[in-house]
Amino acid sequence: MSAETPVCQLLERQAFDYRGWLWVAPPRDAWLEAGQGSLLSADQAVRTAWQARGLSTLSPFEAGEAAPPGVVLFWPKSHALGEWWLLWLCAHLPPGTPLQLVGENQGGIKRVLKVLAALGLGCRKVDSARRCGLYATRLDRVGIDPDDAWMSFEAEGLQLVSHPGVFGHGKLDDGTRLLLGELPAALGGPLGEGADEAEILDVGCGDGILAAWLARRGARVTATDVNAFAVEATRRTLEANGLIGEALESDVYSALDARRYGARRDGARRFDVIISNPPFHQERAIDYGPAGRLIREAPEHLHPGGQLLLVANAFLPYPDLLTRTFGGFEILADDRRFRVYRAIKDGSRG
């Protein structure tokens, strides 16, 4: 099986035995998934794909102490998240463990030289190709707690907790702000009293701003995200504000099945409202897949008469998909950068 992504193509050409190594935050790649290593990832979709092949996977919030023969860290687009992974590995794995760092030049892989030097870790360049670089060092204790990366900030009268790699880290996204401005009217009443006792699903919950806003108004909130950092951030945000809600790792609707909830025979757990600021990037690449599934499968997870509320960049091609799925939609707000869409499930449909 040949490597598919540039970073894995660079690794594939190394005369190196990677058997048993720990792959940290990698992309989806058949070459990796056909190997003999184990996975450490915050991406629930990637872990699910590895588990389907019977491979060992870990989340950074469930991993115990391990001693692999070596580690490969795939440097992410978020530099702060890359630094967190590096600190986590230094804190959890034995000193002296070989570490390789690989990434695309446009993704900032060359910056790891300064990061490693600042931590007192030596580094050497191993190879470069496909506009990617590969560097090598060894792990050591560096005296910095990776938990220091968590931060809090205030928005909309709420205390929000965030982490590098979470969407909109450390600030309120402008699209989310536009959506929040439309929620009171969309849910009923000037203060959003219509949210009271409604069962609402927040897909792609990020730092939990929407989930907390809704929970503060009495809604029964379930929040999902494919990113384990986002799920943990939402849990911490709800706790910081004394609010109740459920946060789950889920690839769009994947966690909302009959096995977990004893739902209807077709496995669909239903809600009064589904709300989302859906992602459309996978690292730097545009990826409409999650947003497309969010819209196409929404009717299966809505009660008759239930509504889908989402905010998206104005240029994204969601109107046709909303029309095909729901038969129509309305635009609640449009500031030329973002649009807030509402689509309602036909009340005659089960």
Tokens 């038969």 belong to 327
Q: Which range, of 162-176, 245-259, 290-304, averages the lowest pLDDT?
A: 245-259
| Torsion on CA atoms 264, 268, 269, 270, rounded to nearest 10 | -100
- Read off the pTM: 0.91
Tokens 């649009």 belong to 339
Residues 50 and 154 in one domain: no
CATH number at residue 88: 3.40.50.150
Residues 323 and 251 in one domain: yes
Rounded Cα distance between 201 and 271, Å, is: 7
Residues 20 and 129 in one domain: yes
Task: Give the pLDDT band (50/70/90) at residue 283.
Answer: very low
Q: Which range, of 61-75, 105-119, 299-313, averages the lowest pLDDT?
A: 61-75
Q: Is residue 65 part of a domain?
A: yes
Q: Domain range for residue 44?
A: 6-146
* 47 pLDDT higher than 50: yes
* 265 pLDDT higher than 70: no
Other CB atoms within 10 A of residue 94 CB: 13
* 244 pLDDT higher than 50: yes
| Model pLDDT for residues 185-194, shown as the tens digit of each residue | 999 855 555 5
Q: Cβ(170)–Cβ(150) under 8 Å?
A: no
Strand-strand pairing, 132-138 and 57-58:
unpaired
Name the average pLDDT for the chain: 90
Other CB atoms within 10 A of residue 280 CB: 17
Predicted pLDDT of residue 281: 44
SS3 assignment for 46-100: HHHHHHHCCCCEECCCCCCCCCCCCEEEECCCCHHHHHHHHHHHHHHCCCCCEEE
Rounded Cα distance between 106 and 112, Å, is: 13
Which one of 104, 123, 146 terminates a domain?
146
Residues 166 and 131 in one domain: no
DSSP helix/strand/coil, 342: strand
Tokens 């560097």 belong to 135
